[in-house]
Amino acid sequence: MFASEDGLKGDPRLQAITEAIRVVPDFPKPGIMFQDITTLLLDPKAFKDTVDIFVDRYRDMDLSVVAGVEARGFFFGPSIALAIGAKFVPLRKPRKLPGEKISEYYVLEYGTDVLEMHVGAVQPGERALVIDDLVATGGTLSAAIRLLERAGAEVVECACVVGVPEMIKGSCILNGKSLYILVEPRQ
């Protein structure tokens, strides 16, 4: 669900977050309107508002894990985890983690990719949130859910700063899990 449908309709923070995100036309390929959240990170108030909205939502959900998807999930995940008293678990691209890891392959529009997590980073029964900057088709978040569930975690919800409504086809459910999105993309 979009934050505006969950009690934040008209909240000026959502407009400020939207305005802080730069749109880069035709990147990384023609026809793509890239939602560059690095400009959101340059605006301390909008960045703090983003984290605060997520913290307000998740503070009382008894979560013990915030799993961030590489790389932009790493910008938001640690701050949320610290604020709610959870650990942060990075979900990395291949060959970035030393030691024993488990992997989850997933299909992209142009090929396949992999997410990896350290073995033992998540314990069976832990309640987890997955965080990323943007959801379009949901493929990466679905892989993150599968990876965490293979380790025995209960994924409670996925959260993103930006969600492309036409790509998620109006459904805010991925692999049976709720999807919480702060704002729609700018054009």
Q: Residue 78: CB partners within 8 Å, gap ≥ 6?
A: 66, 68, 88
64 and 127 Cβ atoms separated by less than 8 Å:
yes
Active-site entry in 70, 92, 104, 109: 109
How many other CB atoms sit within 10 Å of the CB of residue 29?
Answer: 8
Cα–Cα dist 123/184, whole Å: 34
User: What are the structure tokens assigned to 155, written together?
Assistant: 């994924």
How many other CB atoms sit within 10 Å of the CB of residue 166?
Answer: 9
Q: Is 72 a catalytic residue?
A: yes
Is the backbone peptide bond immediately before 144 cis, with ω within 30 degrees of 0? no
Active-site entry in 72, 92, 104, 157: 72
Cα–Cα dist 87/151, whole Å: 15
Q: Is 149 a catalytic residue?
A: no
Residues marked active site are found at 72, 109
